[in-house]
Amino acid sequence: PEPAPMLAVNNIEVVYNDVILVLRGLSLKVPQGQIVALLGSNGAGKSTTLKAISGLLKSEDGVITRGDVTFLGERINGVSPDQIVRRGIFQVMEGRRIIADMTVMENLRLGAFIRRDNDIKNDIERVYAYFPRLKERTGLAGYLSGGEQQMLAIGRAMMARPKLILMDEPSMGLSPLLVKEVFGIIRQLNRDLGVTILLVEQNARVALSVADSGYIMEQGKIVLDGTAAHLAANEDVKEFYLGQG
């Protein structure tokens, strides 16, 4: 039999403000060690799916009304966001959400809030090795460029030493060159550090170029899934998500 996936989302339904049904029986699996892409157009419910996993729904009046989420064999829906981080899941939010009036170093230290060990300095050096540019930026994080803020957001996630990183649209607002750089780093995190990654993207092409497998969602449900190569070759995916070229 197949080994149990690291993360399993089982038939979840999510409602905002008691009325708006956004996820309608969504299921997906993330095997340990993989990069899994979650693709779909605007408003399909991709960000909501990530928040349902990380426990961040509650702060937006969202609730899982049916189904469950399991991580390493344990049910995590209903668990608080900080406890979910402690279990090994870290979400890199859309729009990056770095703290503008703190320095790069202070932002990185925030990522390590769950840790008690003394390796934090080493881990900051490790982040700088991945993102040398961050080391040069000694001022407030608010002065970083969009690309640098994205790097800082990923660096902050690395500081938590997560088993699973949830990434919400890392390509958003970045130039093609920076997209390439950031996705190169995502692949490196996965290969070198063994971090499992669930990647939400509207840029299907770049997501499928680094992912092992993927899911396509529409209106709160998965409509197609398969290996990244299989999806990239699918005629519907090509037409609706990959555009020309």
Phi first, then psi, for residue 179 (nearest 5°) are -60, -45
* Residue that the structure tokens 């938590």 belong to: 160
Q: Cβ of residue 48: shortest distance to ligand ATP, in angstroms?
A: 3
- Rounded to a whole number of angstroms, the minimum distance from the CB of residue 102 to ligand ATP is 26
Cβ at position 80, least distance to ligand ATP in Å = 18
128 belongs to the binding site for ligand ATP (CB under 6 A): no
Draw the binding track, 174-213, toward ligand ATP (x: CB under 6 A; -: no contact): ----------------------------x-----------
> Of the two residues 26 and 124, which places its CB atom closer to ligand ATP in the complex?
26
Contact 159, 186 (CB under 8 A): no
Q: Give residue for tokens 């399909």.
A: 44
- 83 neighbors 157 (Cβ within 8 angstroms): no
Q: Is residue 44 involved in binding ligand ATP (CB under 6 A)?
A: yes
What minimum distance in Å lies between the beta carbon of 221 and ligand ATP? Answer: 12
CB of 25 to ligand ATP, least distance (A): 15
List beta partners, residue 201: 39
Q: Is 223 in the site for ligand ATP (CB under 6 A)?
A: no
Q: Is 16 in the site for ligand ATP (CB under 6 A)?
A: yes
29, 46, 96, 161: residue in contact with ligand ATP (rule CB under 6 A): 46
Instruction: Note whether 77 binds ligand ATP by CB under 6 A.
Output: no
Does 240 bind ligand ATP (CB under 6 A)? Our answer is no
**What residues line the site for ligand ATP (CB under 6 A)?**
16-17, 20, 22, 40, 42-48, 60, 202
